[in-house]
A and B are shown apart, each in its own frame.
Chain A
Amino acid sequence: MTNLVATLAEGLRYRGHGGQWSWILHRISGLGTVLFVLIHVADTATVYFAPHEYQWFIDLYRTPVFGLGEIALIACVLYHGLNGLRVTLFDLKPAWWTIERQRQSVVVTAAVFVVLFIPVLLVMGNTILTHLAGG
């Protein structure tokens, strides 16, 4: 626990620029995604083991709070995937290991994320608002 507190405190104190922020975001988005993957495997397994309970989960996911969580989940998966691709490409290409290129890659990743996430936000935000209005 003290390690976790120290990590969070030092993570904010240490000014590691984009590279460090991308590492922090990669970890948070990964942990957020795996948390939902664990719940999601369990809820889907109810279709075989307890099919009446499946609807309980679906009804829970239909609430606006989970709707917002759903948008956060897409953000986590999208960022984690794009940043993971960046990390993998750099692992494969040692010739790219310059500070300028690493910094550029963080900016490019953030830009691609924003471009892809805007339509997601519009479509999913619209779904929540439609069902809030429609009851």
Chain B
Amino acid sequence: MATIATPLPAARTRRVRGQGRTFDTLMWMFMRISGAALIPLALGHLAIMHLINNVHIMNACFVALRWQFLAWRIYDACLLGFALTHGLNGLRYSVDDYVHHPTWNRVLRWAILIMGIILFVAGAISLIGGVNTAALGIAGPVGSIQDCPQQ
């Protein structure tokens, strides 16, 4: 049986000139960086709020006590910023994957952006302003969870 020596095909790889930094390549990198940051931030938050404590312990005074420490407000601010941007960018990826109609695609992208800005601003104001204890009828700083009106 004769073997036919076939020459190796010439290398088919070619160098493609980079497109430079586009918005989407930056977001690709951002998703990995924010994702890595969210692993300790989000899992830590879940462990503290849902395993060590739970929703039956929580009320507005629980939040007020926690926010008496500046470190927790900074922690929550990082969580707010990273979780919203990471999550809403992921939502944008999903919209681009499933909604191809140009008008609807644009409407949904704008809705995501506007919703993100509103929630970020509302969250940031709450973190800076803190729990409105005066409206709950509490004078002075909160001392315990029991200070809030019991249900």
Contact = CB atoms under 8 A, between A and B. Distances in A.
Interface residues of A, number: 42
Nearest to A84: B35
Given A78-B43, A120-B51, A131-B56, A51 B132 contact: yes
B84 A81 contact: no
Interface in B31-45: 32, 35-36, 38-39, 42-43
Contacts of A44: 63, 123, 126
Contact of A47 (B43, B84, B115, B132): B132
B135 A34 contact: no
B123 A33 contact: no
Contacts of B56: 62, 127, 131
A52 interface: yes
Interface stretch (A13-21, A53-61, A93-101, A103-111): A53-61
From B54, B120, B123, name the one whose CB has the most chain A CB atoms within 10 angstroms. B54
B121 to A, nearest CB: 9
Contacts of B130: 47-48
B84 A41 contact: yes
Given A31-B91, A84-B35, A124-B50, A51 B119 contact: no
A55 B151 contact: yes
A85 interface: yes
B35 to A, nearest CB: 5
Contacts of B84: 37, 41
B84 to A, nearest CB: 7
Contact of B87 (A27, A33, A45, A54): A33
B43 A51 contact: no
Given A42-B122, A124-B50, A85 B98 contact: no
B97 A7 contact: yes
Contacts of A131: 56
Nearest to B43: A81
Nearest to B133: A51
A-B residue pairs, 7 tightest by C-beta: A34-B87, A48-B126, A45-B122, A47-B131, A45-B126, A48-B129, A41-B119
